[in-house]
Structure 1
Amino acid sequence: MLSQAHEHIDVLVYAAVFLHEAYPRLNDLLRERAADGCAVRIAIGDPDSVNVQKRGTEEKFGHGIESRCRIALMHYRPLAGVSGIEVRTHATTLYNSIYRADDQALVNAHVWGVNAYGAPVWHLRRSAEGGMFDTYASSFDAVWETATPVTEG
């Protein structure tokens, strides 16, 4: 889905380190998409935020989620400063992880006390303006506005 995006790639997660584990070329792919004019926005959880720490407690995962956020930041930090790519950290309560590519999105609907991999994933396609797809796209935008840019280094 991401490799076919031409206009937008948006990722909203706490960590989702599985992406880099499953796709070691992910950063290269994101650079390629950005070089072709696709706007890439990555929002990962701030490991020091109260909401990330609370999530670890609720999922009985302890500091694991904080560590995973730090690992995600390590993976994405090299993209900070790449033209067409923005990486930010957020401190929000994350109700859903969102993986958007143009007019499609995968939405991981989080369930209280359950790790994200154990919760359902919906595949949404924009079929009409103002539908479910736009609701989740707007949710991404709202979190993005609260997020802090990541710098190189």
Structure 2
Amino acid sequence: MPNERLRAAMAAGGWTYATLATKAEVDPKSVERWVNLGRTPRRTTALLAAETLGEDVHTLWPALRQARAARAVSPELVALYEKRADVPVSVITDMFAQSREHIDVLVYAAIFLHEAYPRLNDLLRERAADGCTVRIALGDADSQNVRQRGEEEKFGHGIESRCRLALMHYRPLIGVPGIEARTHGTTLYNSLFRADDQLLVNAHVWGVNAYGAPVWHLRRNGAGGIFDTYAQSFDAVWATASPIREE
């Protein structure tokens, strides 16, 4: 299983396999295995790497914790980003690319995805063709809650325009087997980006644009956890949403 905490820490600091390997005095392939295969280095090496990254060694490699202590955070928490703008778009697209069963997106607009990754629709088509169920829930530009969000964020009618633009981006996917898009008018407490058992939660803050609000990366760790709470929330919104019809 990939070490997403380590991947996020490296991305935040601009570290590559090669540069971190130099600091940790190991081969770059070792660092690659830490990240992609979830390998745990020797304690002395791990301490050196964690110090280089400015991270707690047990956060990066929980297996190194010698004594079982009370958890300060949920075992489902992979990473915490101060702002959505700090999340590399590749984190989201890589999650989608690796999905096999579910891709769920709950947003008002989130047009940053298409702007930063123009192949998004192609990627979603590919996943759907391989049997992945794709559900996209976009904000209804004419709903009161969307208009209110624009007022709260001092964005005016801009958010309504962005909802319409998002609909234009996703409209070519309408009618593609395995992909469904709907519009919703709910209060958007969080934007959700799910790929199988991984989930990015963009927690919204009153008066703050989504890109300036925090994001937590979750990985499901059994029934009844935080992941399931958000997954059930998506299902509840989806049930109220209206299907987008082909023109």
Normalising by structure 1, report the TM-score: 0.99
Distance 1:2 1:67 in 2: 26
More strand per residue: 1
Displacement after TM superposition at 1:152 (Å): 1.6
Displacement after TM superposition at 1:130 (Å): 0.6
Query: Which residue is equivalent to 1:3?
Result: 97
Distance 1:95 1:3 in 2: 26
Distance 1:143 1:62 in 2: 24
Whichever residue aligns with residue 55 of structure 1, its letter is: R
Whichever residue aligns with residue 75 of structure 1, its letter is: H
Distance 1:23 1:130 in 2: 33
Q: Quick check: 1:13 aligned with 2:112? A: no
The alignment yields a C-alpha RMSD, in angstroms, of 0.4
1:39 to 124, 127, 133: 133
Distance 2:200 2:139 in 1: 18
SS at match of 2:201: strand
Q: Quick check: 1:23 aligned with 2:117? A: yes
- Give runs of aligned pairs for residues 57-96 of structure 1, distance below 5 A: 57-96=151-190
Distance 1:150 1:104 in 2: 26
Whichever residue aligns with residue 203 of structure 2, its letter is: A
Structure 2 unmatched runs, 5+: 1-94
1:101 to 195, 203, 213: 195
Whichever residue aligns with residue 72 of structure 1, its letter is: A
Q: Quick check: 1:135 aligned with 2:193? A: no
Structure 1 unmatched runs, 5+: none
More helix per residue: 2
* Percent of pairs with identical residues: 80
Distance 1:95 1:110 in 2: 6
Displacement after TM superposition at 1:89 (Å): 0.3
Normalising by structure 2, report the TM-score: 0.62
Following TM superposition, where does structure 1 have runs of at least 4 consecutive aligned residues deviating by more than 2 angstroms? none
Distance 1:152 1:100 in 2: 25
Whichever residue aligns with residue 125 of structure 1, its letter is: R
Query: Which residue is equivalent to 1:126?
Result: 220
Task: Give the aligned length.
Answer: 153
Whichever residue aligns with residue 139 of structure 1, its letter is: S
Distance 1:67 1:88 in 2: 17
Query: Which residue is equivalent to 1:152?
Result: 246
